[in-house]
Amino acid sequence: MRADLLTDHVEGLDEALAAVDGFDQVLVGGLLRPQPAQAVGLAGLADAVAGSPLAGRVAEAAEKTAAG
């Protein structure tokens, strides 16, 4: 087993965890009537998947959800 893999810094991990934390806060508050802080969490999730095949759908869903 390569123990160095467990101790090495993983690039992008902090950003990924921040996106998950932001989206978690959105879910805690509920999606029915999102507040401005929740819109920031939704935008963070959309930014996090911007380079993936999910980008368009997540961005559209985040925009529609933030609009109410």
Q: What is the pLDDT of residues 6-57, one digit of tens each?
A: 788 888 889 889 988 988 888 888 877 778 888 888 899 899 999 999 999 9
Angstrom distances, CA of residue 27 to CA of 31, 35, 37, 55: 7, 11, 12, 20
- At 8 the pLDDT is 82
Residue 21 identity: D
Confidence band of 66 (pLDDT split at 50, 70, 90): confident
Tell if the pTM clears 0.75, that is, is over it: no
Q: Give the pLDDT score at 1.
A: 67
Tokens 């978690």 belong to: 24
What CA dihedral angle connects 35, 41, 42 and 44, to 10 degrees? Answer: 150
In the prediction, which pLDDT does 57 show? Answer: 94
